[in-house]
Amino acid sequence: MKDIKTYTGQYILVLGLAKSGYAAAKMLHKLGAKVVINDRSTLSEDPKAKELKQLGIQIVDGGHPLSLLDGDLKLIVKNPGIPYSNPLLVEAVKREIPIITEVELAYQLSEAPFIGITGSNGKTTTTMLIGDMLKMGNKKPIVAGNIGTVLTEVVQDATADQVLVAELSSFQLLGTKTFHPRIAVFLNLFDAHLDYHGTKEAYGQAKLAISQNQSKEDYLVYNADDEEVTRLIQPLSVTKVPFSVKNLMDEKGAYYLNGGLYFEGELIVSAEDLAMPKGEHNIANALAAAAAAKLYGVSTEAIRKTLHTFSGVPHRLEYIGAVHERKFYNDSKATNILATSKALSAFQEPIILLAGGLDRGNDFDSLIPYLENVKALVAFGETKAKLMDAAEKAGVKQIIPVDNVEDAVPVSYKLSTAGDVILLSPACASWDQYRSFEERGDMFTKQVHMLK
């Protein structure tokens, strides 16, 4: 970790505890800052808050008083999930107080270079693939970020001969200033998180922050099949490396051709030899990962070995098992329509679809073309009426409302016959009923095992 003196003696406000706030507060305290933690929840019984308090860090909980902005406040490190519409942040912007996320702090401290991965869908799969490819190629990767491990924690021990492979959300990237990855990967852009960003353009610009400090010496691996991504990156001066599942790209970048995955004219692997589910989305993820790995100097053989063995990530088209010849798949990480459409496209068998969750105000009509192979919909959560409406328009024969995932699994089994796929792919965030998509997926898996 770099020995920086920037924050010594500085008053810094960490807004929101959670994992990133906890890690950022500890790091800033270690750097000699005067840290105050603020969270709208009551933290008197929170073990992380108690630990921070014992270190001498001040805790202000139960709301966001504007008085925290008084005094000589130099910086706010905010939890990525807290929107900029928060009154305290609105006032901070007026006072020209800098606001960052802990990704920016981690970058300032890291001796290791970064590979950053963003996009609406496929981030976790692609991030893990790149990490495994680099590991196979002896490049000493550390996988962290939005994938679960906080970057501020891992940079403490990261050395210059390692590489940080970071999954990055739009929420995180919006709070970066100097963040500068050697290689950036921009997978796709879809209508998501508009309740946070307001417009798709603003959402896209937040994603584009991954390349805001890159130059010709750096690489941006981008999805040439996505018109919005292609348009957004056009003005950038970075070296652009496309990937595509639809076009040869004049043998530039990574592409899919005649059942094979290629990079710059070289066959990397046959699609039939991929260990993970072979839908178009996973081929795209594999191409993006292979391009990033090749640009970082990983051999084709190491990339090929990884693709032969990498079977996917938990909660992303995760095969749970079969019960009386019905195959169960957990795709709880599908928190938007695009992710669910890709999951549906991955199967030829008849599908019983389990879907529903947090209502963000959108309809599900764009999912209708992908429901052709769905023989039954079991809908739950705040969006169940909207999903049932879309399924009815698509001509789905059986449409059943239930309260939650726990109820959905036995109902879906009763609706199925031998040879069917029973797929949890909610097309919605989980927060109306579950703390996370992981909790929702775990509940699905538990219910499937109870059927067994």
Q: Residues 382-439: pLDDT tens digits?
A: 999 999 999 999 999 999 999 999 999 999 999 999 999 999 999 999 999 999 999 9
Domains 11-100 and 318-451 share a fold: no
Question: What strand order describes the sheet that includes 58-61?
Answer: 58-61, 34-39, 11-15, 73-78, 99-100
For the stretch 325-367, pLDDT in tens is: 999 999 999 999 988 998 998 888 999 999 999 999 999 999 9
Structure tokens that stand for 443 in this block: 């509940």
Rounded to whole angstroms, what are the CA distances from 79 to 25, 109, 167, 316? 11, 18, 16, 25
Q: How many beta carbons lie within 10 A of that of residue 154, not counting itself?
A: 21
Give the DSSP letter string of 266-277. Answer: EEEEEGGG-SS-
Query: Strand 260-263 vs strand 254-257: parallel, antiparallel, or unpaired?
Result: antiparallel
User: Among 3.90.190.20, 2.40.50.140, 3.60.15.10, 3.20.20.140, what is the CATH number of 318-451?
Assistant: 3.90.190.20
Task: Give the C-alpha separation, 358 to 336, whole Å.
Answer: 10
Mean pLDDT, to the nearest integer, of 195-204? 81
pLDDT given at position 144: 97
Separation of CA 13 from chain center: 26
Per the CB < 8 A criterion, the answer to whether 185 and 292 are in contact is yes
Whether 137 has a pLDDT exceeding 70, the answer reads yes
Q: What is the number of other CB atoms lying within 10 angstroms of the CB of residue 74? A: 16
- Say what the pLDDT of residue 121 is: 86
Q: What are phi and psi of 224, to 5 degrees?
A: -75, -10
Give the model's pLDDT for residue 191: 67
Q: Does the pLDDT value for residue 198 go beyond 80?
A: no
**Dist. CA 382–CA 166, nearest whole Å:** 32
Token pair in block for residue 430: 């989980």
Question: What pLDDT was estimated at residue 438?
Answer: 94
CA gap 240, 262 in Å, rounded: 17
Q: Provide the residue ranges of all domains of the chain, joining segments of one domain with +.
A: 11-100, 104-309, 318-451
Is residue 147 within 8 A of residue 167, CB to CB? The reply is yes
Q: What is the pLDDT of residues 248-296, one digit of tens each?
A: 777 789 999 999 999 999 999 999 999 887 788 899 999 999 999 999 9
**Which distant-in-sequence residues (6+ apart) come within 8 Å of 143 by Cβ?**
127, 128, 131, 149, 165, 166, 167
pLDDT, position 249: 72
151 neighbors 176 (Cβ within 8 angstroms): no
CA distance 124 to 279: 16
- Find the largest Cα–Cα distance for the chain: 68
Which option is the CATH number for 104-309: 3.40.50.10310, 1.20.1250.20, 3.40.1190.10, 3.40.710.10? 3.40.1190.10
DSSP letters along 186-209, please? E----S--HHHHSSHHHHHHHHHG
Q: Is the pLDDT of residue 194 over 90?
A: no
pLDDT of residue 1: 87
Amino acid 87 reads P
Q: Which residues contact 172 (CB under 8 A, 6 or more apart)?
A: 80, 101, 102, 103, 145, 146
| Strand ranges (E), 6-159 | 11-15, 34-39, 58-61, 73-78, 99-100, 114-118, 141-145
Fold of the domain built from segment(s) 11-100: Rossmann fold (3.40.50)
Q: Could you give the CA distance from residue 346 to residue 281 in angstroms, rounded to a whole number?
A: 8
- Of 126, 252, 234, which is closest to residue 187 (Cα–Cα)? 126
Report pLDDT for 276.
87
Q: In this prediction, what percent of the chain has a pLDDT beyond 70? A: 99
8 Å CB contact between 35 and 25: yes
Q: Is the pLDDT of residue 192 over 70?
A: no
Q: Residue 3: its pLDDT value, please?
A: 86
As a whole number, the mean pLDDT across the chain is 95
